[in-house]
Structures are given as C-alpha cells and as structure tokens.
Amino acid sequence: MNTFSRITGTGSYLPEKILSNKDLESMVDTSDQWIRERTGIVKRHIAADGQTTCDLAQQAAQLAIEAAGKTPREIDLIVVATTTPDKVFPSTACLLQQRLNANGCAAFDVQAVCTGFIYALSVADKFVSTGAAHCALVVGAETFSRVVDWTDRSTCVLFGDGAGAVVLEASEVQGILSSHLHADGAYENLLHVPGGISRGFDLADTEGDPRYTHMKGNEVFKMAVNTLGRIVDETLNANGMKKSDVDWLVPHQANIRIINATARKLNISMEKVVVTVDQHGNTSAASVPLALDTAVRDGRIQRDEVLLLEAFGGGFTWGSVLLRY
Ligand code: UT7
C-alpha cells in the first residue's frame, strides 16, 4: 500500500511587539491610509532585541507538536524554511532540534524566501510518502525585520516577523495531493538582499545598503499576480480537479491586492480565502503556515476539506501545495 502524508497538527507564533501603520508614519513619509489601500496591512509584529528566528520557530513548533498529540522524540525529520537564520551555521533546524530535545533525526533548512514553506512542505512530503520519515516537523520562521531598511518606505511598511509550523505524518489517507515548485533566477535583482557571507557587505555596485531588502515592488507585483494565476491552473490540472473543488485558498500573505487577484482567478469568494496579512504583514516563509494555523484554530478549516496553498517570492521562486486537510 502506498504511504501518503497528512497534516496532523498546526501551530504559529507572533512576537509580542507590534508596529502599527501609525507608528510607521513617524518613521518614514507614509500614511496609514496608503498602507491599508495599497497593501491591506494594518500592523506587523517585530521580534524583541535578542529574540531570534529559532525562538519564534520553537513556539510555533511546540504548538504544532501538541496539536498533533506527539512528543518531540517522535519527530524523525525537521525542515525549517527561513531566510533569516540565527547563525551562518549550524542550520536553524539543528538549533530547533536541540531546543525541542528531538535529537538524532535529520534536520536541515530550506531557503526559498517567501516560497520557503511551500518548498519545505513539498520536501517533507517526499520523505514521508517514500517511507524515509514518518513524523516530520515543517516550520516557516522569519525575523525579516532584521533585513529591512527602516528608512526605506518602499519596503519597511511591508514586512514583519513570525513563525508557523505543521506536523506531517505518514497516513493511509492521502493528505498532500500534489506539490508544484518553480524558480527563475533571472529575476535575482528585482527582490534581493545584495550582500552576503561570500560576496561581503561592502559592495561598490549596490545602490542603498547591501545588508537590506531591495525590491522593485511594482514589477514584483505584476509577476506575482501572473505567476500565481498560472499555478492555480497547473495545480488543478495535475489533479483533474475543478476550481469549485477547492474549499479554501491559503495564500502567501504579501499584499491583499495579490491575494484578491488569485482568488478571482480561482473564482472563489473571499469568504473562502484565509487572509491574515492585515494582522502581520509579509512574514516571508512564515506567512502560509501562520494563515493555515489561524484558520484551523478558529474552526474555519475542517478535516477533509481541500486546501490550495501557494506562494511567490525572491528568486523568483513560486509554488503550490494542494492537500486534503
Ligand atoms: O512576498 C513576495 C514579494 N513581495 C511582494 O509580493 C510585494 C509586491 N509589491 C507590492 O506589494 C506593491 O508593488 C507595493 C505595495 C510594494 C507598492 O504598491 P504599488 O501600487 O506597486 O505602488 P508603486 O510602487 O507603484 O508606488 C506608487 C506611489 C509612488 O509615488 P509616485 O511615484 O506615484 O509619486 C511611490 O513613491 O506610492 C509611493 N509610495 C509610497 N507612498 C506612501 C511607495 N511606498 C510608499 C509608502 N507610503 N510606504
């Protein structure tokens, strides 16, 4: 009999400190009205000084493990999607493993920026459905505020910190139906942090500070809308499903206008779209599992419903997971 993988628990965590649109008005030349109208964001959460990506990941992971009725010792794979790791090495997954006392299992990070959780979930599904793992912890966690230039209004209003996690277990029932991953490195410079460990941070060829996120917002926006529209078709076609078969769209939370466009493409009413971007802005790899956990815990998403998870981000990377919850 084939082994499938299925989500058995979800969790999420947002740091305590809140930065509102009003707060941003006193930091850069922006307004609450502009941010709400152009992005849908009302506030974002910011990690405290000294609070790291692993700290956020740990909170979300513990909740997911508890919801799945598991103990950390039963976890046999940890995949963490992050762009903002605590250390250059070891991976945040290894740090998390030690924190959870889940020692001994495979643990590694995946880096696909905002599409990171979709990549991580797809990788974990491959492990579980081939029998290489039985109980995987999949986390998306970011302290993206650390790579934001807080004097640049074109980016600083958009991002925030957070973490989300799921436990993915071997199952006779097919949970994950399919996953679809893509990347096109030709768009490297439209959304990137130019500096890095190998290139260094003292870069003569860079306008602005190479430590922080640079984005050509409008071009990214158009690409995101078109690409996510295409991936809806790709995902449904691969499963022989119709748009009306999808119960919930759980999209990457970057901009309400991008989410609206994907919902229109899917012909799904906004009541069936999980929107949390207003509450925490773009948390990169954390945003899809944050939205998923929110709608599971408030009772909107029910067992056996069909969910379409999708994301688009730096790379460019984009992808989707279709699953029966
Ligand atoms: O996670 C995946 C990657 N990220 C994304 O998906 C983000 C994609 N991009 C976006 O969400 C949108 O492009 C933004 C929200 C970043 C910008 O919205 P936009 O409608 O594309 O605005 P724009 O960049 O075309 O700028 C419109 C105007 C400009 O002024 P002028 O030239 O028309 O006078 C900007 O200077 O808005 C101005 N502007 C701002 N005004 C107030 C840009 N940022 C701000 C701001 N406050 N924070």
Write out pLDDT tens, residues 51-70: 999 999 999 999 999 999 99
Instruction: Give residue 156 CA to ligand 1 midpoint distance, Å.
Output: 11
pLDDT at residue 207, as a whole number: 80
Please determine, for residue 258, whether its predicted confidence score (pLDDT) is greater than 80: yes
Computed over its alpha carbons, how large is the radius of gyration of the chain?
19
Residue among 232, 45, 270 at smallest CA distance from 144: 45
Instruction: Identify the active-site residue in 135, 252, 255, 280.
Output: 252
Task: Among 255, 280, 284, 287, name the best residue to mutate to test ligand 1's pocket (greatest count of ligand atoms within 8 A of Cβ).
Answer: 255
Beta strands, E only, 129-268: 135-143, 161-171, 176-183, 191-192, 214-215, 248-251
Q: How far is CA 118 from CA 73, 124, 207, in A?
A: 25, 10, 31
Please determine, for residue 159, whether its predicted confidence score (pLDDT) is greater than 60: yes
Predicted confidence (pLDDT) per residue in 291-317, tens digit: 999 999 999 999 999 999 999 999 999
Domain 178-324 in this protein, CATH class = alpha beta
What whole-number percentage of the chain has pLDDT above 90? 96
Minimal-distance CA residue to ligand 1 atom 18: 38
Task: Among 38, 83, 191, 258, name the best residue to mutate to test ligand 1's pocket (greatest count of ligand atoms within 8 A of Cβ).
Answer: 38
Q: Which residue has the tokens 């981000």?
A: 313
Shortest-distance atom of ligand 1 to CA 224: 6
Q: How far is CA 60 from CA 54, 100, 112, 219, 263, in A?
A: 10, 11, 20, 33, 27
Q: Contact 198/209 with Cβ under 8 angstroms?
A: no
Shortest-distance atom of ligand 1 to CA 313: 2
Please determine, for residue 76, whether its predicted confidence score (pLDDT) is greater than 90: yes
CATH superfamily of 4-173: Thiolase/Chalcone synthase (3.40.47.10)
Q: Contact 107/97 with Cβ under 8 angstroms?
A: yes
Minimal-distance CA residue to ligand 1 atom 2: 313
Whether 114 is a known active-site residue: answer yes
Reported confidence tier of residue 2, pLDDT bands at 50, 70, 90: low
Task: Among 216, 221, 228, name the best residue to mutate to test ligand 1's pocket (greatest count of ligand atoms within 8 A of Cβ).
Answer: 221
pLDDT at residue 23, as a whole number: 98
Instruction: Give residue 225 CA to ligand 1 midpoint distance, Å.
Output: 15
pLDDT at residue 1, as a whole number: 54
Instruction: Identify the active-site residue in 54, 114, 135, 156.
Output: 114
Domain positions in the chain are: 4-173, 178-324
Q: How far is CA 41 from CA 25, 157, 237, 281, in A?
A: 14, 8, 33, 5
pLDDT at residue 284, as a whole number: 98
Mean pLDDT, the chain, whole residue set? 97
4-173 and 178-324 agree in CATH topology? yes
